[in-house]
Amino acid sequence: MIASDVDGTLVGPSETPSERTIEVVRRVRAAGVPFVLCTGRPPRWIPPIARPLALSGYAVCANGAVLLDVASEEVVAVHGALSPELLHDLVGALDKALPGCRLAAERITADVRAFVIEPDYRNPWGDGEGRTVPRAEVLGHSAIKLLISHRGMNSEEMAQAARAVLDGAVDITYSSSGGLIELSAHGITKATGLADVAERFAVPAERVIAFGDMPNDVEMLQWAGHGVAMANGHKAVRAIADEVTGPAAEDGVAQVLERWF
74 and 90 share one domain: no
The reported pLDDT for the residue numbered 254 is: 98
Based on the domain organization, do 102 and 172 belong to the same domain?
yes
- Between CA 98 and CA 185 the distance in angstroms is 20
Residue numbers of the domain that contains 57: 2-79+188-257
Over 80: is that where the pLDDT of 137 sits?
yes
Residue 113 has pLDDT above 70, yes or no: no
Residues 219 and 154 in one domain: no
Q: 161 and 140 share a domain?
A: yes
CATH number at residue 60: 3.40.50.1000
Q: What CATH number does residue 120 fall under?
A: 3.30.1240.10
Residues 57 and 9 placed together within one structural domain of the fold: yes
Residue 209 predicted with pLDDT over 90: yes
Number of domains forming the structure of the chain:
2
Query: Could you give the CA distance from residue 219 to residue 50 in angstroms, rounded to a whole number?
Result: 23
State how far the Cα of 256 lies from the Cα of 208, in Å rounded to an integer.
13
% of the chain residues with pLDDT over 70: 97
Backbone angles phi, psi at 248, to 5 degrees: -60, -35
Examine the domain organization and report whether 165 and 116 are in the same domain: yes
**What pTM was estimated for this model as a whole?**
0.87
* Distance from C-alpha of 146 to C-alpha of 143, rounded to nearest angstrom: 7
